[in-house]
Amino acid sequence: MKIGLVLSGGGIRGIAHLGVLKALKEKNIAITHITGTSAGAIAGALYANQVDPYDALKIFQNTRLLRLLKLAFGKPALLNLESSYKLFREYLPHDSFEQLKIPLTITATNFNNGKLAYFSHGENLIKKVLASCCIPGVFTPIVIDDNFYVDGGVLNNFPVEPLLSKCDYIIGSSCNHLSPIGGIRGIKHILERTATLSVNHDIEEKIKKVDLLIEPENLGNVGLFEINRAEEIYWIAHEKALKKLTEAGLS
């Protein structure tokens, strides 16, 4: 049976995907295809190259990825994501989709023509993963073939579509569940909740296309860059995934 896995975007909340992947590994569930956006593109690329999910968590914790990002002076954003290229080259040394152990498709938004791009073949894997993560206004757009690319979540934060014709069973991992609120805590709260509501706008329709959804409650309330909660997010998602996989009879 061909089992596909779709991984949403979500900033540091994407650490949840690593907990889900750890549960899949413990259950000996062989994933045959992966799609991902933004944080999901990073998690998917590392797993597709056989990096252990918990080791991937430690990469983020020990390197403090945001400290590696350089201020993008004179650029249309605050930070230059390409400065983290060397870090990812350590774990994706071939920099090629074809040399991954599991087929991977990631999304990015072509800022020039306003259309969604799917990347699944060829060289420059790392650059395309970074393009998928370029949150507009935070990270400088990535240039690929003379076009500017930003976060794939702008147009598709849960890219299940490439899996529909390839897989017999699809598992979805989403890290943006929002609970109702009773008040507003400030401008930061407004901006972050609005951003999460935006990427979740079509999630109800998207999840109808998966056979099993793993979505830990209330992770959407975690800030996009709260790296100090990485371990907590990882284990919350791991526990949720084990429960859902057991209930679904997958092992």
Measured from the Cβ of residue 35, the count of other Cβ atoms closer than 10 Å reads 31
Residues facing 35 on adjacent strands: 6, 105
Q: Active site residue: 38, 132, 173, 174, which one?
A: 38
* Whether residue 84 lies in the annotated active site: no
CA angle 173, 3, 100 (to 5 degrees): 85
Q: Kindly state the helix (H) or strand (E) to which residue 151 belongs, with its residue range.
A: strand 147-151
* Whether residue 38 lies in the annotated active site: yes
Q: Kindly state the helix (H) or strand (E) to which residue 244 belongs, with its residue range.
A: helix 230-247
* 8 A C-beta contact, residue 8 and residue 230: no
Evaluated on CA atoms 228, 233, 234, 235, the torsion sign reads positive
Q: 211: which 2 tokens?
A: 């056979």
Q: Active site residue: 8, 84, 132, 151, which one?
A: 151
Q: 29: which 2 tokens?
A: 């569930």
Provide the annotated active-site residues.
Answer: 38, 151
